Structure 1
Amino acid sequence: MDQADLYDALLASRGVSEFPILAHDYGDTVAQELIARDIERCDRPELRSVCLLNGGLFPETHRRVRLQSLLLSPIGPLASLLTNKKKLSQNMIAVFGKEHPPDTETLDSMWDMIRFQHGERIMHKLIRYIPERVEHRERWVGALQTTKVPLKLIVGSVDPISGSHMASRYRELVPRYDVSELAGVGHYPQVQSPRAVTDSYLAFRDRLVNLGA
């Protein structure tokens, strides 16, 4: 909710009248809240389209990695303090999949971003979005089901957290679904297969233009 508030404040400060969303993972949840707000209120900038990448859209299909479970447990603060580059790299290699593994530069960059202003010390606080997905499931899944805004899902199929199994659930629950599955790609399609993601997203946007959306 706080992240959605920040985006609302940013849009207002910039005088934005309409906008699209392209989101991934944690950002998918923020996007779902913004969709819900778009449905509820008319005095908002117009949400024109939403494209979602791999993320826990449905609590029942989200498969946590071991580190996430530790961070959510009573020893979460200790797990944060004990997290290091080696453990992070092991998790990233697992969720990337075998066909498009992360290179050293990518792993170094991820670790540097997590450590910025000692972010690794509060990972157990940031992970609270997982139980929030359960708490607000009706609101956030309902937003995907009832919105009239065009939706697109681009998903790395071999992601063990939210891959093909999540895409299958999406097709079950979301009307007018538009799904592109990227074979051999894991949890970070925008990093692992940026050309495929870009092509798929731009094709989605071009179709909307052609339809006058």
Structure 2
Amino acid sequence: MINNSTTITPQSATQWQEDGQLFEWQGHQIFVRTGGEDSAPPLLLLHGFPTSSLDWLPMWADLTARYRVLAFDFLGFGYSDKPRRHDYDLQEQTDLAEHLAETLLGEDFHLLVHDYGVSPGQELLARSGEGSMAHRILSCAFLNGGLLPAQHRARRIQKLLIGPFGGLIVHLMNRKSFGENFSQVFGKDTQPSAAELDAYWTVISHKGGNRLQHKLLHYIADRRTHGARWEAVLKAPPCPIALINGTQDPVSGGHLVDAIAALNPDVPAWRLDHLGHYPQTEGAADVIAAYAEFRGGL
């Protein structure tokens, strides 16, 4: 059972923001959280869509007790800047992640990534394998996310938002419709509470981010564009990789684990059959245990 102080609520979301800092990057303010001992192994966390680094809150105490952790909000997400007239591109988001890792970690590091973040994670792996980064990636664990575009099962609302009327549809979205759509990707017995949904919606709406959802969904097209490159790092990764997957996820659940096993049977996978798309919030203790097992075997 997760302690109440590490559950996601409007109050804990406010505290998360207060405990972070803003880091300037290319004229934008990026929200950053750090924690852990300076001598601990460095770990970079990459969050998902449409949420933010707040997703890591239920795991934060455990992670920072073991590792030197860096989490941040991608441009357009969470408490980072959300420019309206901007083309949100996964290569740019990867550049941001690489810059923060080099600046704030400053050494070879490990990756733990989720959903939207799996694609920058794959690009970082490709760059690490090419030797184009200042520091190497030592390992990467993927939570639920679109590692293979062909296996990504977009929700109806996502399909509508990337269509020609996406810019209009975002103006019809509200807390109620968000909660109804968002809850569909969680496990049957691990549905988000009203307080969690309130917190998620408040952070998404910060700086008008709820009006940018159609722009942020450009990642679906980016994944198709770079699909071959990012699939290659799953076939021949430059470091140990693993899957930790909530298999009840209708978007990137058990079917994705099966597809990765067919692509590369040497990739270890932890199937969390009672969890959905957000395993780190639905069952933080289970994800911590799986991740510790993965890291222990390196």
Give the TM-score normalised by structure 1: 0.94
Could you tell me which runs of 5 or more consecutive residues in structure 2 were left unpaired when the two chains were aligned. Answer: 1-90
How far is the alpha carbon of 1:191 from its aligned partner?
0.5
State the TM-score, normalized to the length of structure 2. 0.68
CA displacement at 1:15 relative to structure 2: 5.8
- Bigger relative contact order, structure 1 or 2 (CA pairs below 8 A, ≥6 apart): 1
CA distance in 2 between partners of 1:42 and 1:149 (Å): 15
> 2:200 aligns to what?
110
Identity %: 38
User: Is the aligned partner of 1:69 residue 2:188?
Assistant: no
Match of 2:4 in 1: none
Residue 70 of structure 1, CA deviation: 0.8
Q: Distance in 2 between matches of 1:197 and 1:55?
A: 15
Aligned partners of 2:127 and 2:133 also within 8 Å: no
Q: Which moved more, 1:30-39 or 1:88-97?
A: 88-97
Q: 2:228 aligns with which of 132, 138, 157?
A: 138
Instruction: Give 1:43 shift.
Output: 4.8
Instruction: Give CA deviations for 1:31-57 in whole Å, capped at 9, x if unaligned.
Output: 001011111125520210000000011
Q: Secondary structure at the match of 1:87?
A: helix
- Identify which range, 101-110 or 18-27, moves more after superposition: 101-110
Alpha-carbon distance between aligned partners in 2 of 1:16 and 1:181, rounded to the nearest angstrom: 33
Alpha-carbon distance between aligned partners in 2 of 1:194 and 1:140, rounded to the nearest angstrom: 27
Q: Deviations over 1:123-170 (max 9, x none)?
A: 111000011111110001111211230001000011000100011001
Select the residue among 132, 141, 144 that pairs with 1:54: 144
Match of 2:270 among 180, 194, 200: 180
4+ residue segments displaced more than 4 Å: none
Any idea what SS the aligned residue of 2:182 has? helix
Of 107, 121, 136 in structure 2, the residue corresponding to residue 17 of structure 1 is 107
Q: How far 1:76 moved relative to its partner?
A: 0.8
Residues in 2 aligned to 1:36 and 1:201: alpha-carbon distance in whole angstroms: 22
Structure with a larger share of its residues in helix: 1
Q: Is the 8 A contact 2:125 2:238 kept in 1?
A: no
Deviation at 1:14, TM superposition (A): 2.9
- Unpaired segments ≥5 residues, structure 1: 209-213
Map 1:22-41; keep pairs closer than 5 Å.
Answer: 22-41=112-131
Amino acid at match of 1:116: H
**Cα 1:42–1:105, aligned 2, differ >3 Å: closer, same or farther?**
same
- How many residue pairs match? The answer is 208
